[in-house]
Amino acid sequence: MKEKLDIVDKEVKDCQKCLELVEKFNNHTSVSYGKDNKILIVGEAPANNGWRKSGRCWYGIDGKITGSGKIITKLFQSINLNLEDIFFVEAIKCFPIERKNLKRCKDNCYPYLEKQITLIDPKIIITLGDTATKSVLKDLNYHNFSEVVGKKHLLKINNKEYIIVPIYHPSPISPRGYKDNIAIFNYIKTLI
């Protein structure tokens, strides 16, 4: 699997679709490998000071765990899982310079995301927030994120179905990032 994911990383590195919209990274690994592929976390996009520069998922360039990393660690611990063991990718592979370009970037990155999902072949995909959810479930139409968060959805790629469970983004600035995700993680535990 790693060799095939490395090929996708090379495609991401060589991609020219959003050059004027994004900042590329020296660290061209767009997958944080876990020990077990039963769960895949899909984030929105790399932070400008995050793991694509630090080389370690959920850690900033200062070497410290990010606020989101602290929250999601607690959420996984609540269901007896270690965040370090979970696979992680971003829906958007490079850092979008302006948020107004998220939609275009996510559309351009979808083929890479789809390949990564297929190669990792998780039992459950957890999407972090609205943009990641819209990236993965691109054909699902909804008005408010509250309509889909915490619910099981199915994504079909090449005749294989994947379970998707959107959660509130675990950002420390989000009032829902921890407390409203607890029940969702208890639900995710029943799906594993």
Taking only the tens place, the pLDDT of each residue in 77-113 is 999 999 989 999 999 998 888 889 988 999 999 999 9
Range of the domain at 64: 2-191
User: What pLDDT is attached to residue 73?
Assistant: 96
pLDDT value at 127 more than 90: yes
Amino acid identity, position 15: C
CATH number at residue 31: 3.40.470.10
pTM of the model: 0.93
Domains held by the chain: number:
1
Which stretches within 36-151 are classed as H helix? Answer: 51-54, 67-77, 102-120, 129-136
pLDDT value at 25 more than 80: no
The pLDDT mean for the chain works out to: 91
User: What pLDDT is attached to residue 27?
Assistant: 63
Q: Is 183 helix (H, G, I), strand (E, B) or coil?
A: helix
User: What pLDDT is attached to residue 26?
Assistant: 67
Percent of the chain exceeding pLDDT 90 equals 66
